[in-house]
A and B are shown apart, each in its own frame.
Chain A
Amino acid sequence: MAAENKGKQGKITVKNLGKQYDAADEKKHMLFSKNINPDAIFQDDEEHYVLKGVNLTIEEGEFHIFLGASGCGKSTLLNIIAGFLDKTEGSVLLDGKEITKPGPDRGVVFQNADSAIFPWLTVYKNVEYGLKMQHVEKDRRKKIVENAIELVGLWEHKKKYPSELSGGMKQRVQIARSIASNPEILIMDEPFGALDAQTRRILQDELISIWQKTKKTILFVTHDLQEAVYLGEKISIFSAAPNANIAAKVTVPFAYPRNLNDGEVAEFTRGVHESLDKAMNAHGDKVIDKSAIAGRGFLCGS
């Protein structure tokens, strides 16, 4: 499949991307934080950017991780790729075409399943929703929906309503719903963050198997180092906002399934941890600014 893509144009290409804060909004927010003078943060122009000069290529079929602390550059970039946010400068391409708005070519799995899935529809109808909106004809729709529900292991629960499902099952509904539209890329925003450790591990394993079966490109955002190393082929490590950027790109050289306790994997994880620490401290001379940024909710997924 990847061979069809001529040259080095990836599935997703981000070139010199910048995203400005909405300054008015930000200042208003600042007033609620103690001991911070909003003007100190907004006095020079370069401080207005959440993201600045971001370059990135995600290859077809890749399992790509955005890793970074809740300083929120990564969620902003995810929202731009999903089409929910406008960029300020640069370009973001999907298969060579500029992304301007959301669309079914990019399936999104949201952090909070309760706000994302439709409680008035059964599991089946939730998964069917996108296909209906896209006017897929009935027989084909049925086949696709059944396959997707089977894929995430919800077959016995297909007639249930979301209120009857556990948190992990609700995230499966989201995954099935996105995959049913056969998207070019599956975008996942800390989807397992709210789950207990056991359920999270099960879903991580299932996600790997879904990825291997469907060969979809996956973009997965997390602040969990272990999760990043367990799941990802490529990890983009983000520096802290303002002017966040991808500080390092790492390829994880281990086959699936991975064992995080394995000596080599653990050693590798420590290395990623160091890169992450370094990335977070990249603006070490602006400590006050950084703590201020970390305390606000603007554009954050969480």
Chain B
Amino acid sequence: MEHLKTAVKKGFKFFVKSGIAAWVILLIIWQTASGFTLPEFLPGPVQTLQGLKEVIESGVLLEDIAISMQRVVIGWVKGLLIAIPTGLLVGRFQVVKWLVEPFVNFFRFVPAIGFLSLFLMWFGVGEESKLVLITYATVFPVVINTVAGVAGIDPVKYQAAESLGATKVQSFFTVTVPAAVPGIFTGIRLGLSSAIISIVSAEMLAANSGIGYLIYTSRLYYRTDWIFVGIVTLGLLGFLADKLLRKIGSTMFKHYGIVNQ
């Protein structure tokens, strides 16, 4: 009897702590609320599942996921290639900081979607404009966190490197870069979420595939359940991608001081 009691207690604790409880509560509220409205206005979890079945069976969803993720990854990696070196230089060299930081502090308040029309005009309706948009969205969180990572480096590390014979260039590559890894990594993660968020804007106009396209065009057919499928898919993709990224980071950069939480 005692055993059973503790087992139940343990099970309940896990149920609440793991976040499953939160999802169950959300599903209950969602299902209940949908009961009071039309499915075209708010489809419940059950209808959404039916919608999900449709888009999976027709192969649309997997295709959309593949194309969206491809865009996210390419745009994001391009963003990283621009942002990480920029952040390192801005963080390390005062002159570069004076030259670059004003732009960063200005444009980081202009969301990617603000550039949508402009990018369409400049880069056309093809893939290019979407990738540029995602890259743009990635750059700022990565630059800002990389700069913060560099700024947080203990000056004693530079003194140590110099008194061991390192030149300024050597200490940039052997102290600044590795010591900034935790900051860079935070930037990489936030950059990814920023890239995933901006995929919807990127695919809203001038696209004929992708999760964003699915969400945006489903309203034309009054398929609100497909919109929910798209939303849930985006959330799940982001969640899983971040989890994977954290796992990779905390294994690969174990000794660089990345905290996996």
* A110, B158: Cα distance in complex, Å: 12
Chain A, residue nearest B160 (CB): A116
- Given A115-B154, A129-B174, A163-B255, A181:B159 Cβ within 8 A: no
Is A167's CB within 8 Å of the partner chain B? no
Within 8 A of A (CB), among B230-260: 253, 255-257
Interface contact B257-A133, CB-CB below 8 Å: no
Interface contact B160-A110, CB-CB below 8 Å: yes
* A275, B156: Cα distance in complex, Å: 33
Is B165's CB within 8 Å of the partner chain A? yes
Is A223's CB within 8 Å of the partner chain B? no
Sorted from nearest, which 5 A-B pairs have the closest CB atoms?
A130-B164, A104-B165, A115-B154, A115-B156, A102-B162
Is B85's CB within 8 Å of the partner chain A? no
Q: Mark B148-161, 1 if CB is under 8 A from A, else 0.
A: 00000010110111
Interface contact A115-B181, CB-CB below 8 Å: no
Within 8 A of A (CB), among B152-193: 154, 156-157, 159-167, 170, 174-175, 178-179, 181
Please, which residues of chain B bring their CB within 8 A of the CB of A119? 255-257
Interface contact B174-A82, CB-CB below 8 Å: no
Chain B at the A interface: mostly helix, strand, loop or mixed? helix
Q: Which one of A84, A120, A129, A133 lies within 8 Å of B255 (CB-CB)?
A: A120
Interface contact B174-A110, CB-CB below 8 Å: no
A residues lining the B interface (CB < 8 Å) = 82-84, 101-104, 106-108, 110, 112, 115-121, 129-130, 133-134, 161-163, 177-178, 181
B residues lining the A interface (CB < 8 Å) = 154, 156-157, 159-167, 170, 174-175, 178-179, 181, 253, 255-257
Interface contact B156-A181, CB-CB below 8 Å: no
Q: State the Cβ distance, A220 to closest chain B Cβ, in Å.
A: 16
Interface contact B256-A110, CB-CB below 8 Å: no
Interface contact A84-B161, CB-CB below 8 Å: no
Other A-B pairs, 14, CB within 8 Å; known A121-B255, A133-B161: A82-B163, A83-B162, A84-B159, A104-B164, A108-B159, A116-B159, A117-B160, A129-B174, A133-B164, A133-B167, A133-B170, A163-B255, A177-B164, A178-B163
Interface contact B161-A108, CB-CB below 8 Å: no
Q: State the Cβ distance, B185 to closest chain A Cβ, in Å.
A: 13
- Given A129-B174, A133-B174, A161-B255, A116:B156 Cβ within 8 A: yes
Interface contact A110-B156, CB-CB below 8 Å: yes
* A84, B159: Cα distance in complex, Å: 7
Residue of A83, A120, A181 with highest tally of chain B CB at under 10 A: A120
What are 12 A-B contacts defined by CB distance under 8 Å? A82-B163, A84-B159, A110-B160, A115-B156, A118-B179, A120-B181, A121-B255, A133-B166, A133-B170, A161-B255, A163-B255, A178-B164
Please, which residues of chain B bring their CB within 8 A of the CB of A102? 159, 162-163
Chain A, residue nearest B178 (CB): A120
Please, which residues of chain B bring their CB within 8 A of the CB of A103? 162-163, 165
Residue of B161, B163, B166, B257 with highest tally of chain A CB at under 10 A: B163
Interface contact A110-B159, CB-CB below 8 Å: yes
Interface contact B157-A112, CB-CB below 8 Å: no
Chain B, residue nearest A112 (CB): B156
Chain B, residue nearest A183 (CB): B163
Interface contact A107-B174, CB-CB below 8 Å: no
Please, which residues of chain A bring their CB within 8 A of the CB of B156? 110, 112, 115-116
* A163, B259: Cα distance in complex, Å: 13
Q: State the Cβ distance, A158 to closest chain B Cβ, in Å.
A: 15
Interface contact A118-B165, CB-CB below 8 Å: no
Please, which residues of chain A bring their CB within 8 A of the CB of B160? 108, 110, 116-117
Chain B, residue nearest A174 (CB): B160
Q: State the Cβ distance, A8 to closest chain B Cβ, in Å.
A: 27
Please, which residues of chain A bring their CB within 8 A of the CB of B167? 133
* A116, B161: Cα distance in complex, Å: 9
Q: State the Cβ distance, A75 to closest chain B Cβ, in Å.
A: 13
Q: State the Cβ distance, A246 to closest chain B Cβ, in Å.
A: 24
Chain B, residue nearest A83 (CB): B163
Interface contact A108-B163, CB-CB below 8 Å: yes
* A116, B175: Cα distance in complex, Å: 11
Please, which residues of chain A bring their CB within 8 A of the CB of B179? 118, 120
Q: State the Cβ distance, A5 to closest chain B Cβ, in Å.
A: 23
Please, which residues of chain A bring their CB within 8 A of the CB of B256? 119-120
Interface contact B164-A118, CB-CB below 8 Å: no
Interface contact B255-A134, CB-CB below 8 Å: no
* A160, B180: Cα distance in complex, Å: 21
Q: State the Cβ distance, A299 to closest chain B Cβ, in Å.
A: 13
Chain A, residue nearest B159 (CB): A84
